[in-house]
């Protein structure tokens, strides 16, 4: 495993589909296979926690927590805005340009210390970073394979198919998808949703994550096949 280098981009069919939660699970799974796994969040907005009088993005904090070792949060999340608004709007309000070079340099720096890197996006595939650039433009520039997190709910089939097609149209590899249950009560016809997606997406299905009460993670009970990525 030491000679293997992997970088995977995590996108979702929408915002609040559980990208960070599942990224944390994947990071721990990778460590069990001997990888030095690290989570990287190049751009974040909102989700603030305070620690030692400093403000941090909660998603970046969790990615760092479940990485194989702790890094500086600035290394994990080089570009952050306090408000929970789209990045291109936050960038304009704060007069702080979201620079692809800074995002890439951060990824390059993390790559010196890790051999299995999950790069978590913000929102969905076409989240804008400026009036000109989208998050997906940077992923294309870096030529990263993409993993889709799908929250099983009404509308997810349409969003999942559109997302997969957009990724493939970008000439990138779509490594697979994971079904995530974001509600305690399962969607009516839950299993039919998943069966239909398996047939129509035609990319590897890595597994399903059940609703996690209070976000407590029992890694041994969660079956996700990271070797398919």
- Residue 214: pLDDT above 90? no
Segment 178-198 mean pLDDT: 86
Q: Which class for 133: exposed (0-12), middle (13-18), buried (19 or more C-beta within 10 A)?
A: middle
Helices (H), the chain: 19-32, 58-65, 73-76, 87-94, 100-111, 135-142, 156-169, 190-201
Q: If you write DSSP's letter for every residue of 90-146 in order, what string do you get? A: HHHHHT----HHHHHHHHHHHHTT-SEEEEEEEEETT-BSSSS-BHHHHHHHHT--E
Mean pLDDT, rounded, of the chain: 91
Structure tokens at 169: 């149209």
- What lies within 8 Å, CB to CB, of 155 at 6+ separation is none
Q: Which of 99-103, 125-129, 182-186 has the lowest mean pLDDT?
A: 182-186
Segment 180-202 mean pLDDT: 87
| Strands 116-124 and 37-40, sheet pairing | parallel
Phi, psi of 54 (to 5 degrees): -110, 150
Would residue 41 show up in a list of annotated catalytic residues for this protein? yes
Segment 67-80 mean pLDDT: 94
Q: Which one, of 138, 133, 164, lies nearest residue 40 by Cα?
A: 138
Per-residue pLDDT reduced to its tens digit, 17-67: 999 999 999 999 999 999 999 999 999 998 777 766 667 899 999 999 999
Q: Which residue has the tokens 């993005």?
A: 57
pLDDT at 183: 76
Predicted model pTM? 0.92
pLDDT at 88: 97
- Residue 2: pLDDT above 60? no
Q: How confident is the model at residue 175 (pLDDT cuts 50, 70, 90)?
A: very high
pLDDT at 225: 81
Segment 170-182 mean pLDDT: 94
- Residue 221: pLDDT above 80? no
Q: Which residue has the tokens 């993993």?
A: 147
The Cα 35–Cα 23 span in angstroms is: 14
Among 41, 58, 101, 108, the active-site one is 41
Structure tokens at 210: 């059940």
CATH C-level class of 6-228? alpha beta
Q: Which one, of 28, 123, 44, 39, lies nearest residue 81 by Cα?
A: 44
Q: Which of 39-53, 103-117, 135-149, 199-213 has the lowest mean pLDDT?
A: 39-53
**117 vs 188, higher pLDDT:** 117
Structure tokens at 196: 């239909």
Q: Which of 26-35, 67-76, 199-208, 209-218 has the lowest mean pLDDT?
A: 209-218
% of the chain with per-residue pLDDT over 70: 92
The Cα 60–Cα 130 span in angstroms is: 21
């Amino acid at each position: 495993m030491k000679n293997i280098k992997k970088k995977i981009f995590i996108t979702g069919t929408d915002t609040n589909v559980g990208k960070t939660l599942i990224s944390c699970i994947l990071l721990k799974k990778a460590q069990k296979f001997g990888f030095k796994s690290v989570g990287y969040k190049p751009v974040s907005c909102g989700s603030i926690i305070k620690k030692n009088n400093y403000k941090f993005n909660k998603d970046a904090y969790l990615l760092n927590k479940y990485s194989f070792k702790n890094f500086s949060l600035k290394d994990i999340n080089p570009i952050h805005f306090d408000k929970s608004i789209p990045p291109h709007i936050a960038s304009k309000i704060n007069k702080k340009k979201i620079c692809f070079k800074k995002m890439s340099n951060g990824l390059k720096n993390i790559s010196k210390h890790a051999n299995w890197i999950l790069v978590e996006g913000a929102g969905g595939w076409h989240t804008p970073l400026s009036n000109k650039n989208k998050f997906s433009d940077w992923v294309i520039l870096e030529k990263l394979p993409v993993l889709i997190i799908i929250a099983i709910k009404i509308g997810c089939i349409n969003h999942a198919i559109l997302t997969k097609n957009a990724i493939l149209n970008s000439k990138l590899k779509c490594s697979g998808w994971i079904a995530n249950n974001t509600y305690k009560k399962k969607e009516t016809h839950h299993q039919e949703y998943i069966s239909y997606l398996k047939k129509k997406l035609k990319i590897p299905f890595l597994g399903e994550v059940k609703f996690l009460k209070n976000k407590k993670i029992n890694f041994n009970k969660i079956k996700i096949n990271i070797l398919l990525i």
